[in-house]
Chains A and B, each alone.
Chain A
Amino acid sequence: MNKRLKWSSLVLLATTMLVTACSNGGSSNQAANNGNNNQSSKQTTQTVSDTVADKDPVTIEFMGHGNPNEKSIFEKLIASFEEKYPHVTVKYTSVPPGEYSQKLTTLISSGKAPDVFYVGGSEFYRFAEAGTVLNVQPYLDETDLFDPDNVWSQALDRYRYDGAKVGSGDLYGLPKDVGPWAFVYNKDLFDDKGITPPSAVAGEWTWDDLLDAAKQLTVDENGDGKPEQYGVAAYSLESAVWANGGNFIDYDTGQVLVNEQAFYDAMQFVADLTLVHGVSPNVEAEQSMNGYTRFLNGQLAMFAMGPWDQPAFWELPFNWDIAAWPASPTTGETATWLGSMGFAISNKSKHPQEAFDLAAFLSLDEYGQRQNYELGQAVPNLIDLSKGEFLASDKAPASRQVFLDIIEDYGRPDVPAFSKDTQWIDLFWQQASRVWNGEVSAQQFTAEIQPKMQELYDKFNK
């Protein structure tokens, strides 16, 4: 009997250890959370009135993430903000990007949300819906800090929420940046072969031109079947699909569209760059050395970049420039995605006016925006600054206009931007390797996966 007791207590102990190990995340306090929703409407209206009149010292907490460059820019910006608003002290925390989302959500659920924090696409949707983030429209209408017409609407509109959908309605955040995903090429490699480089004008350079150039620029010197230099890598599927007139999803109806011909043709085109033409590294080659490293090494002719890649690319020993993404020959159109990260203000902030001032300063202050682009972090959020000195800057890339074209013309919100739960699209990327490695055709794959994606989307987003 005694022995049995000993054993069973051991079993119990082992199980307890396990269950606690797995469930420690589910335990944050719920009480703080319950009060969250009903406060939302009251606070917005109330606090606009008692603004800058009292100058009691105020401390604002601000949390973000990013590389050391970004951190030092923000430290400088905050210092100049504190100069301008002497009664405000800003407590700035920079968290490693990988931990950011967990940390922020935990802070919010335990009622300790920072006053101002970064917020991205699907997260923004969830926060807006849950009433976590403050409606900044009333502040915006009052402020004389900036002119909303001088801010990219493509960036601002990401932070609108109308009570059901993201993209229209009142503003619940301000853009930190706009991230046009551009097509970049190694100019020296093109010049060496005497090939005309891709055009900066949308629609002039097509998939056929891309294939043609890529074939010439893929070089296997020792003939072992593994090229030392590739034509193109990490070709954006989003760009291909949209250019071809397809879409991942129709957010208005909630219909997943990956099984349409425009989509799978485009996907097959991207897969065939590797499978048929061998001008792009396959999954294995990509895994052993990714496109980014290949491009930096000068072993890759065409690749993709965001503005934040500029500092690293400025160090390169070869010439490079950006161009419009190749257009689909069927439509003659081109497209790419435009990312954005924003600043949101906690609905529970005790000093919403100061928090808003900080967010507006970081988002739109001319000095800060200038710093930001000069250090190669982003395209300015301010239109006049972008079209003026940013465009005139003599730093690479020469065709800076491409960044602006993407913002104004053919850039689209990245796929998950308008869904609060991203499982449906994550599933797609997880399984897509079956197409990339040639196991199944894009048509077959998309037909198989569409119902599963639809199910996930319906379950978690409606």
Chain B
Amino acid sequence: MNIKLNGYRKKELAWLYLFVAPPVLGFLIFGLTPMLFSIFISFQKWDMISTPSWVGFENYIELFKDEKVFKSLFNTVYLMIGIPIGMALSLLLAILMNRSIKGISFLRTMYYLPVISPIIAVSLLWQWILNQDYGLLNHVLWNWFGIKGPNWLGDAAWVKPSLILIGLWGGLGGNMVLYLAGLQSVSSTYYEAAEIDGANGWQKFMRITLPLLSPIHFFVLVMGIIGAFQSFSQIYVLAVDGGPEYSGATIVYYIFQHAFKYFNMGFASAAAWLLGILIFIVTLIQFKFADRWVYQD
């Protein structure tokens, strides 16, 4: 670097580094260092109070022997059923909200409300709603439709559908806003051209709206899958000790239990890295296939 910098340029650079420093340092100290340290810890046996001992790959090998790992992975993947349903519903909502009627901003706010509500409070609320005997949902099912509602959170077969339901309700608003932005960026010229060619509403939706929203679909899908892999708080509140027969435990919940209940930090770090690698691979595959269906302007 033999480029001479004049005083003004130097000063500007100094400011630049000053402004960039806090987030970079923050990441290095609170992000990267613990991350690297957790690799190191994942090869050890450590309960946070006694001296760590080196165990090599034992933690990783143990992971594959524990049936709870597979059970919680299965649960996690099961919860992803909610992603396509959520995408369809939030797109529908976005289309309904994408028009100028009176009070539309009020409605949009209403649908967005769950996104900004604290997840713990929301989960506690759902715990009441889903109560078998006294809950609102089963009450409505019985009084309006004559259906005897299941024991949502107490029956091993119903815990996951309940969690999906809650996830849908909570995630709808956020995705709706994304779709709304997408819809508004679709140029009206395409629709005009299609109308001239005699396309009906359905054809316009299938051939114009849906494909042009593909970057949004892609974003929602990728974030949805990562979010599903990471889901924890609602499980922590709604599925005590992993729920009946461990039916509600996700992989992060499993990691949490090992880290902060049993204090097997090495084992938990190994599990966290396994999950990290898994998500990396899944996301990589998604990006690999993205070229085939995502339109870029």
A→B interface (CB under 8 Å): 3, 7-8, 10-11, 14-28, 30, 33-34, 36-37, 101-102, 105-106, 108-109, 126-127, 129-132, 283-285, 287-289, 421-423, 426, 429-431, 433-434, 460
A397 vs B246: C-alpha distance when bound (angstroms): 38
Binary contact readout B283-297 vs A (1 if CB under 8 angstroms, 0 otherwise): 110010010000010
Q: Which residues of B are found within 8 Å of A434, using beta-carbon distances?
A: 245
Q: Which residues of B are found within 8 Å of A10, using beta-carbon distances?
A: 287
Q: Which residues of B are found within 8 Å of A460, using beta-carbon distances?
A: 262, 264
Asked if B260 is at the interface of the complex by the 8 Å CB criterion, the answer is yes
A36 vs B105: C-alpha distance when bound (angstroms): 60
Selected interface stretch from B3-11, B169-177, B196-204, B274-282: B274-282
A130 vs B37: C-alpha distance when bound (angstroms): 22
From B31, B41, B133, give the contact of A285 (CB < 8 A).
B133
Q: Which residues of A are found within 8 Å of B37, using beta-carbon distances?
A: 26-27
Residues of B in contact (CB 8 Å), total 56
- Judging by beta carbons under 8 Å apart, are B154 and A24 in contact? no
A126 vs B275: C-alpha distance when bound (angstroms): 28
**Interface on chain B toward A: helix, strand, loop, or mixed SS?**
helix
Extra inter-chain contacts (18) besides given A33-B50, A109-B48, A126-B50, CB under 8 Å? A11-B283, A14-B222, A14-B279, A14-B283, A16-B31, A18-B226, A18-B275, A18-B279, A19-B273, A26-B41, A28-B48, A36-B49, A108-B49, A288-B133, A289-B134, A431-B246, A434-B245, A460-B264
Beta-carbon nearest neighbor of B156 in chain A: A433
- Judging by beta carbons under 8 Å apart, are A26 and B269 in contact? yes
Given contacts A283-B154, A287-B154, A289-B133, contact A16 B35 (CB under 8 A): yes
- Judging by beta carbons under 8 Å apart, are B265 and A11 in contact? no
Asked if B209 is at the interface of the complex by the 8 Å CB criterion, the answer is no
State how many angstroms separate the Cβ of A127 from the closest Cβ of chain B: 7
- Judging by beta carbons under 8 Å apart, are B287 and A22 in contact? no
Given contacts A16-B35, A288-B132, A433-B244, contact A106 B279 (CB under 8 A): no
Beta-carbon nearest neighbor of A8 in chain B: B287
A422 vs B51: C-alpha distance when bound (angstroms): 21
- Judging by beta carbons under 8 Å apart, are B154 and A284 in contact? yes
Q: Which residues of A are found within 8 Å of B98, using beta-carbon distances?
A: none
Q: Which residues of A are found within 8 Å of B296, using beta-carbon distances?
A: 3
From B38, B154, B222, B284, give the contact of A27 (CB < 8 A).
B38
Given contacts A26-B269, A30-B52, A33-B51, contact A287 B260 (CB under 8 A): no
Binary contact readout B228-270 vs A (1 if CB under 8 angstroms, 0 otherwise): 0110000000000110111000001001000111111100110
Q: Which residues of B are found within 8 Å of A285, using beta-carbon distances?
A: 133
Asked if B151 is at the interface of the complex by the 8 Å CB criterion, the answer is yes
Beta-carbon nearest neighbor of A456 in chain B: B66
Beta-carbon nearest neighbor of B154 in chain A: A287
Given contacts A25-B260, A36-B49, contact A288 B131 (CB under 8 A): yes
Beta-carbon nearest neighbor of B48 in chain A: A109
Q: Which residues of B are found within 8 Å of A109, using beta-carbon distances?
A: 48-49
Q: Which residues of A are found within 8 Å of B135, using beta-carbon distances?
A: 288
Q: Which residues of A are found within 8 Å of B255, using beta-carbon distances?
A: 22
Beta-carbon nearest neighbor of A38 in chain B: B51
Asked if B100 is at the interface of the complex by the 8 Å CB criterion, the answer is no
- Judging by beta carbons under 8 Å apart, are A11 and B272 in contact? no
- Judging by beta carbons under 8 Å apart, are A18 and B153 in contact? no
- Judging by beta carbons under 8 Å apart, are B229 and A18 in contact? yes
- Judging by beta carbons under 8 Å apart, are A102 and B31 in contact? no
Asked if B195 is at the interface of the complex by the 8 Å CB criterion, the answer is no
A132 vs B49: C-alpha distance when bound (angstroms): 7
Q: Which residues of B are found within 8 Å of A101, using beta-carbon distances?
A: 260-261
- Judging by beta carbons under 8 Å apart, are B48 and A106 in contact? yes
Beta-carbon nearest neighbor of B251 in chain A: A22
Asked if B117 is at the interface of the complex by the 8 Å CB criterion, the answer is no
State how many angstroms separate the Cβ of A425 from the closest Cβ of chain B: 12
State how many angstroms separate the Cβ of A111 from the closest Cβ of chain B: 11
- Judging by beta carbons under 8 Å apart, are A108 and B48 in contact? yes
Q: Which residues of A are found within 8 Å of B276, using beta-carbon distances?
A: 15, 18-19, 22
From A8, A16, A22, A430, give the contact of B246 (CB < 8 A).
A430
Asked if B34 is at the interface of the complex by the 8 Å CB criterion, the answer is yes
From B47, B134, B245, B264, give the contact of A433 (CB < 8 A).
B245
Q: Which residues of B are found within 8 Å of A34, using beta-carbon distances?
A: 51
A131 vs B132: C-alpha distance when bound (angstroms): 48
Asked if B192 is at the interface of the complex by the 8 Å CB criterion, the answer is no
- Judging by beta carbons under 8 Å apart, are B51 and A36 in contact? yes
**Those of B1-57 within 8 Å (CB) of chain A:** 30-31, 33-35, 37-38, 41-42, 47-52
Given contacts A22-B275, A28-B48, contact A430 B230 (CB under 8 A): no
Chain B CB within 10 Å, residue with most, of A21, A22, A102, A430: A22
Given contacts A18-B275, A126-B47, contact A287 B132 (CB under 8 A): yes
Q: Which residues of A are found within 8 Å of B269, using beta-carbon distances?
A: 23, 26
- Chain A to chain B contacts (Cβ below 8 Å), 30 pairs: A11-B283, A15-B276, A17-B226, A18-B229, A20-B31, A21-B230, A22-B275, A23-B38, A23-B269, A23-B272, A24-B34, A25-B260, A26-B37, A26-B41, A26-B42, A26-B269, A28-B48, A33-B49, A37-B50, A126-B47, A130-B47, A130-B49, A132-B49, A287-B131, A287-B153, A288-B154, A423-B262, A431-B246, A433-B156, A433-B245
State how many angstroms separate the Cβ of B189 from the closest Cβ of chain A: 26
Q: Which residues of A are found within 8 Å of B41, using beta-carbon distances?
A: 26-27
- Judging by beta carbons under 8 Å apart, are B265 and A26 in contact? yes
Q: Which residues of A are found within 8 Å of B273, using beta-carbon distances?
A: 19, 23
A-B complex: 9 closest residue pairs judged by Cβ atoms: A27-B34, A288-B133, A287-B154, A23-B38, A130-B50, A22-B272, A19-B276, A109-B48, A130-B49
State how many angstroms separate the Cβ of B99 from the closest Cβ of chain A: 33
Q: Which residues of A are found within 8 Å of B52, using beta-carbon distances?
A: 30, 33
A33 vs B48: C-alpha distance when bound (angstroms): 8
Given contacts A11-B287, A105-B263, contact A26 B34 (CB under 8 A): yes
From B31, B47, B154, B252, give the contact of A22 (CB < 8 A).
B252
Q: Which residues of B are found within 8 Å of A22, using beta-carbon distances?
A: 230, 252, 255, 272, 275-276
**Those of B139-174 within 8 Å (CB) of chain A:** 151, 153-156
State how many angstroms separate the Cβ of B31 from the closest Cβ of chain A: 5
**Those of B176-212 within 8 Å (CB) of chain A:** none
A51 vs B296: C-alpha distance when bound (angstroms): 77
- Judging by beta carbons under 8 Å apart, are B272 and A19 in contact? yes
A19 vs B279: C-alpha distance when bound (angstroms): 9
Given contacts A15-B276, A25-B265, A26-B38, contact A284 B226 (CB under 8 A): no
Given contacts A23-B272, A25-B259, A284-B151, contact A15 B283 (CB under 8 A): yes
